[in-house]
C-alpha cells in the first residue's frame, strides 16, 4: 500500500482523470467572485458551477475568493487552506452509483474573525465583480414579527458601534463599499444564494437599513453602484459523514478532510441584474429570468416545506433520515396531499413551470436512500424556516377561504416537536435560536393549546385567523393523545 496522500494541488497528479479532469492551469485563473460562507451547500452548488465553467469553457476571470465570518467556520477555512482550496464533490445517485470530482474553483480564502481588515481590503479591490452570500436564514437578522431587518439584534448593534471589527455581513459590506467609494472604485453585485424569500430584495433592504443607521453618507453611492439580483438555488447537500471520507480515502488513497456530499439534481435560477458583469453561466445551464418570484415560491413551499414537514413528523416517529420518512407511505401520502390540495392551488403558476411534475420530482429526490440527509439538519433552526416555508401557504389558503387542514396539522405537530420526545419515549435534541421560548410555550400548550400561538411573536398574522386557531387547537389535542402515525392515518382517510 503506497503512503497515504493528503489532498492538495501537488498530490492530485496521482488521481485518475475521471476525478480531476483539469485542462486549465490554475495559476491563470483570476478572482472575480468573493463568496461569504463556504458552506457545504456553496461548495456543492456555486463553486461546482464555476468549476464546470472554468474546466469546460475556459472561463478564467471568475475564480472564487472564499470568506468565512463565523467562529464555527474556522475548521473549513483551515482545511481549505491546507488543501489549496481543493475538495471532493461526492454525488450519490438513487441507484447507488457514486461520482467523485475534485472542485478547484476556490482559489483564495480569508477568515474574518482572524483578520477582518485583510478580508475587507481584499473585497474592496475592483477585480471582485460579484459578492455572493450563503449565510443561512438567520444570518439576515430579520425580525420574526415584522420580517424587517432587526437593528436591535445584539451583533448588529455591536457592529454599528465598533465599525472596524465587524461580525455581521452588513458590517463587512459597509466597510468594503466605504473603501471603494473613497478610492473612486466601482461597486459590484451582491448575490444572495440563501433560501429566503426575495433573497436579493431582502439583503438589499437589510443592508440599506443598516447603512442608513450607521453611515448614511454612503447610501446614495450604494444606490448607484450596487445591484441585488434575486435567485433560486436548489441542490440537496447533506452533512458529510466519516464513512464518506473513509470510502474516498480507501478507494483513491487520498485523504480529503472535508468532502461534500450531494444529490445529482442541481438548479440555479437568477434575475439578470448584474451591475459589473457576470460569468457566462448560461453555458452551464444556469437560467436567467426577469421575475424569480414564482420559481422561488414553488421551491420554498414545495421542496423546503416538504423537507421540514418530513423532518418534524419523522422525528416524532423516531426516524433519523429523510429517505426513511419519504419511503413510509403514511408520511408521503400526507405530504403529497398537502402539496396537491394546499400548496399548488395557492401558488401563482407560470407557463415555464409544471408544478405537478415538480412535486413528483421532489418526492423522488427525497426517496434517494444514499443521501442520508439527517432529520436533525432539516429541523435545525426551524423557527426561521417554517415562517418562510409554510406560513405563506396557510395565509393564502385562509384568504382564499380554502382548505388549511394539512398545513394546520403540521403546525400542531411542530408544537409537539418542542416537547423534545418522540412517540417511543426517546428524547431528541432541538437546535433553534428560539428553542427556549418555543419549548416553554409548547409546555404551556398542554393546558391551553392557544398559548403556543399567542405567546409567540413568530405567528404574525396567523393569530388573527379564528379558523386557523380553532383547527390548530383541534389537531393539537388529537396529537396529544395519538401518535404522529395515528394522526396521519386519521388525516389520510
Which residues are near ligand CS2 by CB under 6 A? 195, 234-236, 303-304, 307-308, 378, 385
Closer CB to ligand CS2, 159 or 373, in the complex:
373
* Shorter beta-carbon distance to ligand CS2: residue 206 or 383: 383
The DSSP code for 168 is S
Alpha helices by DSSP H, 339-449: 344-346, 355-367, 375-379, 386-389, 391-399, 405-417, 435-444
- Of 35 and 469, the one with the shorter C-beta distance to ligand CS2 is 35
Q: In the complex with ligand CS2, which residue's Cβ is closer, 281 or 366? A: 366
Q: Which residue's CB is nearer to ligand CS2, number 51 or number 385? A: 385
In the bound complex, what is the minimum distance in angstroms from residue 324's beta carbon to ligand CS2?
16
CB of 248 to ligand CS2, least distance (A): 22
Q: Smallest gap, in angstroms, from Cβ of residue 300 to ligand CS2?
A: 8
Provide the pairing of β-strand 5-6 with 287-289. Answer: unpaired
Pick 120 or 133: Cβ nearer ligand CS2: 133
Dig out the grid coordinates for 3 from the structure.
503512503
Residue 19 or 135 with smaller CB distance to ligand CS2: 135
Q: CA 117 to CA 106: how far, in whole Å?
A: 20
Minimum distance from CB of 318 to ligand CS2 (Å)? 20
CB burial of residue 329 (10 Å; 0-12, 13-18, 19+): exposed
Question: Shortest approach of ligand CS2 to residue 320 CB, angstroms?
Answer: 16
123/302 with CB nearer ligand CS2: 302
In the complex, minimum distance from the CB of residue 236 to ligand CS2, in angstroms, rounded to a whole number = 4
Angle between helices 169-182 and 116-124 (to 10 degrees): 50
Q: Which residue is nearest to ligand CS2 (CB)?
A: 307
Q: How far is the CB of 377 from ligand CS2 (least distance, A)?
A: 6
Cα–Cα distance between 55 and 394 in angstroms, integer? Answer: 45
139 grid coordinates: 444570518
Secondary structure of residue 227 in the 3-state scheme: strand
In angstroms, rounded to a whole number, what is the distance separating the alpha carbons of residues 326 and 36?
A: 33
Element (DSSP H or E) covering residue 171: helix 169-182
DSSP state letters, 63-74: EEEEEE-SGGGH
Minimum separation from the CB atom of position 264 to ligand CS2 (A)? 13
Residues 6+ apart with CB under 8 A from 411: 386, 390, 394, 472, 475
Beta-strand ranges (E) seen in 260-333 are 260-262, 267-271, 287-289
What angle separates helix 466-481 from helix 484-492, to the nearest 10 degrees?
A: 130
Q: Which is nearer to ligand CS2, 232 or 394 (CB)?
A: 232
Shortest Å, Cβ 13 to ligand CS2: 34
- Residues 188, 39: Cα–Cα separation, whole Å: 22
Amino acid at each position: 500500500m503506497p503512503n497515504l496522500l493528503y489532498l492538495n494541488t501537488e498530490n492530485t497528479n496521482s488521481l485518475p482523470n475521471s476525478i480531476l479532469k483539469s485542462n486549465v492551469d490554475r495559476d491563470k485563473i483570476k478572482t472575480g467572485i468573493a463568496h461569504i460562507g463556504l458552506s457545504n451547500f456553496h461548495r456543492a452548488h456555486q463553486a461546482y458551477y464555476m468549476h464546470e465553467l472554468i474546466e469546460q469553457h475556459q472561463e478564467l476571470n471568475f475564480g472564487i475568493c472564499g470568506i468565512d465570518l463565523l467562529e464555527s467556520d474556522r475548521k473549513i477555512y483551515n482545511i481549505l487552506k491546507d488543501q489549496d482550496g481543493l475538495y471532493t464533490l461526492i454525488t450519490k445517485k438513487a441507484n447507488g452509483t457514486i461520482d467523485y470530482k475534485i472542485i478547484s474553483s476556490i482559489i483564495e480564502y480569508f477568515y474574518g474573525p482572524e483578520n477582518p481588515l485583510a478580508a475587507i481590503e481584499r473585497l474592496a479591490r475592483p477585480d471582485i465583480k460579484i459578492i455572493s452570500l450563503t449565510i443561512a436564514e438567520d444570518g439576515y437578522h430579520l425580525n420574526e414579527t415584522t420580517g424587517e431587518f432587526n437593528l436591535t439584534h445584539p451583533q448588529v448593534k455591536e457592529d454599528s458601534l465598533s465599525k472596524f471589527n465587524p461580525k455581521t455581513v452588513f458590517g463587512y459590506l459597509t466597510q468594503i463599499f466605504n473603501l471603494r467609494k473613497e478610492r473612486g472604485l466601482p461597486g459590484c453585485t451582491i448575490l444572495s444564494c440563501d433560501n429566503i424569500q426575495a433573497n436579493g430584495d431582502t439583503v438589499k433592504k437589510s443592508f440599506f437599513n443598516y447603512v442608513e443607521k450607521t453611515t448614511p453618507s454612503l447610501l446614495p453611492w450604494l444606490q448607484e453602484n450596487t445591484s441585488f439580483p434575486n435567485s433560486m438555488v436548489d441542490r440537496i447537500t447533506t452533512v458529510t459523514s466519516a464513512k464518506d471520507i473513509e470510502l474516498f480515502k480507501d478507494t483513491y488513497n487520498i485523504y480529503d478532510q472535508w468532502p461534500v456530499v450531494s444529490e445529482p439534481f442541481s438548479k440555479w435560477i437568477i434575475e439578470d441584474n448584474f451591475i459589473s458583469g457576470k460569468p457566462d453561466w448560461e453555458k452551464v445551464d444556469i437560467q436567467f429570468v426577469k421575475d424569480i418570484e414564482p420559481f422561488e415560491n414553488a421551491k420554498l413551499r414545495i421542496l423546503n416545506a416538504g423537507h421540514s414537514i418530513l423532518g418534524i413528523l419523522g422525528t416524532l416517529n423516531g426516524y433519523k433520515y429523510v429517505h426513511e420518512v419519504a419511503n413510509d407511505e403514511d408520511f408521503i401520502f400526507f405530504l403529497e396531499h398537502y402539496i396537491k390540495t394546499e400548496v399548488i392551488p395557492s401558488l401563482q403558476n407560470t407557463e415555464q413551470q409544471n408544478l405537478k411534475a415538480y412535486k413528483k420530482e421532489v418526492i423522488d429526490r427525497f426517496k434517494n436512500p444514499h443521501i442520508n440527509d439527517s432529520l436533525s439538519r432539516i429541523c435545525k433552526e426551524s423557527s426561521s424556516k417554517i415562517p418562510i416555508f409554510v406560513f405563506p401557504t396557510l395565509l393564502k389558503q385562509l384568504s382564499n377561504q380554502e382548505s388549511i387542514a394539512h398545513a394546520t396539522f403540521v403546525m400542531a405537530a411542530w408544537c409537539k416537536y418542542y416537547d423534545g420526545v418522540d412517540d417511543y419515549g426517546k428524547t431528541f435534541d432541538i437546535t433553534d435560536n428560539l428553542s427556549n421560548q418555543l419549548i416553554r410555550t409548547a409546555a404551556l400548550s398542554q393546558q391551553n393549546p392557544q398559548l403556543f400561538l399567542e405567546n409567540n411573536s413568530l405567528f404574525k398574522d396567523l393569530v388573527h385567523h379564528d379558523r386557523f386557531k380553532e383547527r390548530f387547537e383541534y389537531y393539537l389535542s388529537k396529537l396529544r393523545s395519538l401518535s404522529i402515525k395515528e394522526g396521519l392515518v386519521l388525516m389520510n382517510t
